[in-house]
Amino acid sequence: MKIFIILIFIAIFSSGCNEDFDFNKKITIKTTVRAKVYSAHASAHPGWIEFCKKYDHPINQPQKTITDLKKIFYELFDNFNYVSDQDNYAVSDQWEIIGSDGKGDCEDFALTLFQNLLSAGFEKPNVRIALGWVGDSYHCVCLVEVDSGVLYVCDNYGICLFDKYECEWDRALDETHLYWVKM
C-alpha cells in the first residue's frame, strides 16, 4: 500500500502542474515477478517426454558409457593421419573437420570427434573442446564425460582419464558451447 501511495504522490508532482492532474484517471502499475530458480530437478512434462520419443531427442536417451565413447573415438582414430596445418592447408593454423583423407592436426581431430559425439547423441554439456600446454606444445583436445561423471581427455594420441593427463590447462568451452572459460 505504501508503494501505491508513493507512486500516486510521484505521479502528481512529476506531472509538471499539479492543478492539471486528473484524480479520476486510473493509474496502472505493472509489476514483473521473477521466478525463483531451484537447484532440484523437476519431473519432465508428459508432452516433453512424447516429443523426445517422437523426434529421438538425446535428452531422453540413456547416459553414454566409455564403450560408446571408444566406439566413436576409434572409428576416427584408426583412420587419422597427422598432418600439420602448414602442410595440409598452407597456413599456420586452420581449424577444420577432418575430411575423408583422414588428414589433420590436434584441433582437427578434437573438432571432428566433438562433432561425431554430438551427432551420436552425447549431450552437449558432456562434450567440450579444451586447450592447454602439453610440454612445450599448445594442444587441443576433446573432453568427454561418460558413466555419470567420469571425465576423459581424447586427443590424436588416445583416450586418458582427465586426472592422469599431464597438461597445463588454459581454456575450454563452457557447457553451452558459446563461451570459452579459463581452466
Write down the pLDDT at residue 94: 92
Residue 175 in any domain: the answer is yes
User: Rounded to an integer, what distance in angstroms lies between the CA atom of residue 181 and that of residue 183?
Assistant: 6
Residue 164 in any domain: the answer is yes
- CATH number of the domain enclosing 145: 3.10.620.30
* Tens of pLDDT, residues 100-156: 999 999 999 999 999 999 999 998 899 999 999 999 999 999 999 998 789 999 999
Write down the pLDDT at residue 35: 36
What is the count of structural domains for the chain? 1
Write down the pLDDT at residue 7: 37
Q: What are phi and psi of 85, to 5 degrees?
A: -60, -35
Residue 50 in any domain: the answer is no
Q: Which of 169, 99, 89, 92 is nearest to 128 (CA)?
A: 169
Write down the pLDDT at residue 49: 63
Residue 57 in any domain: the answer is no
Q: 72 lies in which domain range?
A: 63-182
Is residue 39 pLDDT above 60, yes or no? Answer: no
Residue 17 in any domain: the answer is no
